[in-house]
A and B are shown apart, each in its own frame.
Chain A
């Protein structure tokens, strides 16, 4: 009997062992088959808002050195079928790792912000700061002695500019052919979210001031004004949510650079270089409304309400009348999970999604934009309803995201006014409001546009140029060199392109 029982147990054990192996084999074989199903491999990640790795190009050199096989390995894992779903699942598992408390993983490492002798300047008082280091004063001179300066700047910009080279000649004139509507999405150079910390289920930008980038930016803005004496240049610097919403103790604890001080530095420096530029401070206005929904919780951008309060400051400066926010048609898009979520997958943010409130312009909702992915001009809605797209994509409701160049034509307005906006994605929520004040608005995303905006402004007879930029976005030297390169007259741009090509050939 004992013997019989023993055999029975062994038999049972055997069965469980077979089950163990079969289950393991089932998972492995499923994964293997899935891996070979090439049509199921995604090319882009909606979730992470990025193009996924491409299969590497073959060359003998890269094969011998190992680059080719590395590329295959990265491609295989990066484009694994259903990757977004699998990542979401993994992030759900990771919520079990701890208590999902505030996540403070980054400390800012900004440069010291030089003090200015006086607060925002009248032209005579302002001067180039003594401690704003020789490098920038030298660079200021670059307009007069371009050749030596440009060479370095442009070379720097080449390496980082991942933008759309196809924009070339075609972007000059909008030749609208096709009207697009609905949920079509574009991925054009999204701004990186930068470092983020979480506090009370809200993501905050960890901002560090970059003196070199600040100087390039300021000089570029002032230089644009100098090159276009008949045009009025405006500069609006958008603070990060941390400056507007966080208490002083937390800012100190995270070692954030003081954005108030930083903005004053920018404005003082710009106006010391060219006093015609009108700098519009908005930080105080935003702080006075900081109990309202000015910034997203899961995304690094501001809401259109934040942009609206900025518009009020701009209109005050212009002496133009503002519309009440209630006059605009509101579109509500729930469940938006922005870049702070998609770049880090914090469950704290997933449980606290945003709602996008978008306001349609009053007089026109049509515009023309250059579609980089298709290499042609198209037409669409300035503000559109993206309620039904993926939760991470809803910021594209405004002007289709980050196209290199866009035109809003609203001649019926009859103001006879025109403006050009130089922006990165923060400007997207501000631009729809301008449609009601200018007959023509040209929107330039400096990260994608390649040509001289000076020439374009002259050709189009632009009255106002509005630089509207976020402090975090302009704290990168390479990006600022890219901006500088399009704010030059075409002759200088060509010269720098030649140098750029020479540099590239040399480095090859």
Chain B
């Protein structure tokens, strides 16, 4: 089940919230959440529930052992057990096929590579559980004595299959006890509605444009004109942010409605003026995971420039690989490693100098990210080369009639999608509220009324877009 489906919105979320609000007791509420979360996960393939339940069990057990023992050696041993177990499962389900494919390419062995289905959300909940056990090991958080609460943490449908990667310490206290305030519910409602509309209307619409202009079938890109490619990649760039951040919005919103406060996962990354800044604003929960659990333990930037760069290489190789078991994702990670290294060495200082350099920096960042998405989109490297060639106006017609058609017929839509990627809406809202607060008259009422109607209206518009829209891609099956 995906958030942007009618089944989820109406047949799942409504009963879940209704039951939740009928009951006052936190424990009973947790049980309801766990029950619904397991059903939610089972919808994507019931057999993988065993994996989720099993991973949660092992993590609960090892964390408990780590918490109980006073001996550092024993703690370490249990941590290793956890890491080996979790990473092996992730390795088998996500990377074994890729690994064997590569071996076969070079050696001809094995003859057939088993087709392993990737359990949905495995990359997210495996990382969550690892972070939990490491945090217990580090003494940052107490081990949770109740297994079902660890399972609830890992399986909570808000974030289980598409992030954010919520740290146990963020929700530890709220799992035990949480209050729901009107303010929280209202904010949750707003956030969820915005996320749903972002996904159902904007991201799906952008996907439609990108897929029409950038066909993935072998050889099909040869006929695409350069300007179509530019437009198609722009649509893809918008799609991927809107889609991914929409899921985080919905997760944060749904969490908020029931009293959980998850951390922000996206902070308008396309407004960054360095690549480093981009990564501080993009999928924050993943970047901080690699920072806290890989980069810093490797020594971070404390062991000299050479070692720092090596550590970055490791982190960006892993970041790329986390996004999918395919060379294009690894190259995508390494591509960013190059720019991040350049920035660390000298570039970011140059770009931070003044307003002018910051504007240059913003353009540079957008271009780097834009070309990065080419690597991200095509698993077939030939398609990557063909697209880059087209984007560089080489070997492709400059312009095709389909470019004009797509642009003219979607011009307002694209403008809206671009606006949605920047904090402009937020700024306008703040200005309006400020002006309205000062006058406390009709303007205030108007602003409040618009505010009050917006979530309901967004849900209605999203439902319209989802009914009959068979095109509802889910990007995270690879993750």
On A, residues with C-beta under 8 Å from B are 9, 12-14, 16-21, 23-24, 26-29, 31-32, 34-36, 48, 63-66, 69, 72-73, 76-78, 80, 83, 86-87, 89-90, 93, 96-107, 197, 253-255
B residues within 8 A CB of A93? 461, 464-465
Q: Which residue of B lies closest to A36 (CB)?
A: B11
Bound together, the chains give a CA A296 to CA B455 distance in angstroms of 42
Q: Which residue of B lies closest to A86 (CB)?
A: B467
A residues within 8 A CB of B212? 105
A77 pairs with B46, CB closer than 8 A: no
Bound together, the chains give a CA A72 to CA B11 distance in angstroms of 11
10 A-B pairs in the complex with CB atoms less than 8 angstroms apart? A27-B460, A28-B10, A32-B15, A65-B45, A73-B5, A87-B464, A90-B465, A90-B469, A104-B402, A105-B212
A16 pairs with B452, CB closer than 8 A: yes
Known: A90-B464, A105-B212. A69 touches B44 (CB 8 A): yes
Q: Interface with A: B123-131, B146-154, B405-413, which one?
A: B405-413
Q: Which of B10, B45, B183 contacts A32 (CB 8 A)?
A: B10
Q: Which residue of B lies closest to A73 (CB)?
A: B7
Q: Interface with A: B134-142, B186-194, B269-277, B311-319, which one?
A: B186-194
A69 pairs with B1, CB closer than 8 A: yes
A residues within 8 A CB of B17? 28
B residues within 8 A CB of A13? 448
B412 pairs with A98, CB closer than 8 A: yes
B409 pairs with A77, CB closer than 8 A: no
B463 pairs with A31, CB closer than 8 A: yes
B455 pairs with A24, CB closer than 8 A: yes
Bound together, the chains give a CA A93 to CA B469 distance in angstroms of 14
Bound together, the chains give a CA A65 to CA B49 distance in angstroms of 12
Known: A31-B463, A32-B14. A105 touches B42 (CB 8 A): no
Nearest Cβ in chain A — how far from B288, in angstroms?
31
Q: Which residue of A lies closest to B411 (CB)?
A: A98
Nearest Cβ in chain A — how far from B41, in angstroms?
11
Closest 3 pairs between A and B when the two form their complex, measured CB to CB:
A66-B45, A90-B464, A32-B14
Q: A20-B189, A24-B193, A97-B410 are known; give 10 further A-B pairs, CB within 8 A.
A: A17-B182, A20-B452, A28-B10, A32-B15, A35-B10, A66-B44, A66-B47, A69-B42, A80-B6, A90-B469
A27 pairs with B456, CB closer than 8 A: yes
Bound together, the chains give a CA A20 to CA B453 distance in angstroms of 6
B11 pairs with A76, CB closer than 8 A: yes
Q: Which of A23, A90, A96 contacts B456 (CB 8 A)?
A: A23
A residues within 8 A CB of B47? 64-66
**B394 at interface by CB-CB < 8 Å:** no
Q: Which of A16, A27, A80, A197 contacts B451 (CB 8 A)?
A: A16
A residues within 8 A CB of B400? 107
Q: Which of A14, A64, A76, A101 contacts B6 (CB 8 A)?
A: A76
**B185 at interface by CB-CB < 8 Å:** yes
**B355 at interface by CB-CB < 8 Å:** no
Nearest Cβ in chain A — how far from B88, in angstroms?
23
B residues within 8 A CB of A102? 405, 408
Known: A35-B11, A72-B7, A105-B406. A17 touches B460 (CB 8 A): no
A28 pairs with B13, CB closer than 8 A: yes
Bound together, the chains give a CA A99 to CA B408 distance in angstroms of 6
B464 pairs with A31, CB closer than 8 A: no
Nearest Cβ in chain B — how far from A3, in angstroms?
15
**B205 at interface by CB-CB < 8 Å:** yes
B residues within 8 A CB of A19? 452
Bound together, the chains give a CA A28 to CA B453 distance in angstroms of 13
Known: A32-B11, A73-B1, A76-B7. A98 touches B466 (CB 8 A): no
B14 pairs with A98, CB closer than 8 A: no
Bound together, the chains give a CA A73 to CA B448 distance in angstroms of 36
Q: Which of B426-479 contact A (CB under 8 A)?
A: 440, 448-449, 451-453, 455-456, 459-461, 463-470
B455 pairs with A23, CB closer than 8 A: yes
B11 pairs with A86, CB closer than 8 A: no
B residues within 8 A CB of A255? 223
B residues within 8 A CB of A66? 43-47
Nearest Cβ in chain B — how far from A292, in angstroms?
27
Nearest Cβ in chain B — how far from A351, in angstroms?
14
A24 pairs with B412, CB closer than 8 A: no
Bound together, the chains give a CA A61 to CA B412 distance in angstroms of 47
Nearest Cβ in chain B — how far from A87, in angstroms?
4
B residues within 8 A CB of A63? 46
B residues within 8 A CB of A14? 182
B401 pairs with A254, CB closer than 8 A: yes
Q: Which residue of B lies closest to A13 (CB)?
A: B448
Known: A87-B468, A90-B467. A24 touches B413 (CB 8 A): no
Interface centre among B46, B205, B469 (most CB of A within 10 A): B46
Q: Which residue of A lies closest to B416 (CB)?
A: A97
**B53 at interface by CB-CB < 8 Å:** no
Bound together, the chains give a CA A63 to CA B48 distance in angstroms of 12
A residues within 8 A CB of B189? 20-21, 24
B residues within 8 A CB of A35? 6-7, 10-11
Q: Which residue of B lies closest to A85 (CB)?
A: B467
A69 pairs with B186, CB closer than 8 A: no
Known: A65-B47, A90-B464, A97-B412. A12 touches B448 (CB 8 A): yes
Bound together, the chains give a CA A26 to CA B456 distance in angstroms of 8
A69 pairs with B402, CB closer than 8 A: no
Q: Which residue of A lies closest to B407 (CB)?
A: A98
Q: Which residue of A lies closest to B410 (CB)?
A: A98
B residues within 8 A CB of A107? 223, 400, 402
Nearest Cβ in chain A — how far from B258, in angstroms?
13
A17 pairs with B183, CB closer than 8 A: yes
B186 pairs with A105, CB closer than 8 A: no
Bound together, the chains give a CA A4 to CA B463 distance in angstroms of 42
B401 pairs with A27, CB closer than 8 A: no
B468 pairs with A90, CB closer than 8 A: yes
**B9 at interface by CB-CB < 8 Å:** yes
A residues within 8 A CB of B464? 86-87, 89-90, 93
Q: Which residue of A lies closest to B6 (CB)?
A: A77
B467 pairs with A77, CB closer than 8 A: yes
Nearest Cβ in chain A — how far from B377, in angstroms?
19
Bound together, the chains give a CA A77 to CA B1 distance in angstroms of 12
Nearest Cβ in chain B — how far from A93, in angstroms?
6
Q: Contact mask B18-47 → A, CB, 8 Å, 1/0?
A: 100000000000000000000000111111
Q: Which residue of A lies closest to B468 (CB)?
A: A87
A27 pairs with B459, CB closer than 8 A: yes
Q: Contact mask B64-96 → A, CB, 8 Å, 1/0?
A: 000000000000000000000000000000000
B residues within 8 A CB of A23? 452-453, 455-456
A residues within 8 A CB of B461? 93
A9 pairs with B440, CB closer than 8 A: yes
A98 pairs with B7, CB closer than 8 A: no
B409 pairs with A100, CB closer than 8 A: yes
Q: Which residue of A lies closest to B464 (CB)?
A: A90
A77 pairs with B456, CB closer than 8 A: no
Nearest Cβ in chain A — how far from B450, in angstroms?
10
A83 pairs with B467, CB closer than 8 A: yes
B residues within 8 A CB of A105? 212, 402, 405-406
Interface centre among B9, B42, B401, B412 (most CB of A within 10 A): B401
B10 pairs with A101, CB closer than 8 A: no
Nearest Cβ in chain A — how far from B442, in angstroms?
13
Nearest Cβ in chain B — how far from A438, in angstroms?
44
Nearest Cβ in chain A — how far from B202, in angstroms?
11
A residues within 8 A CB of B7? 35, 72-73, 76-77
A73 pairs with B223, CB closer than 8 A: no
Bound together, the chains give a CA A73 to CA B13 distance in angstroms of 14
Bound together, the chains give a CA A76 to CA B412 distance in angstroms of 31
A residues within 8 A CB of B15? 32
Bound together, the chains give a CA A90 to CA B205 distance in angstroms of 12
B residues within 8 A CB of A80? 6, 467
Bound together, the chains give a CA A29 to CA B14 distance in angstroms of 7
B residues within 8 A CB of A16? 448-449, 451-452
A103 pairs with B11, CB closer than 8 A: no
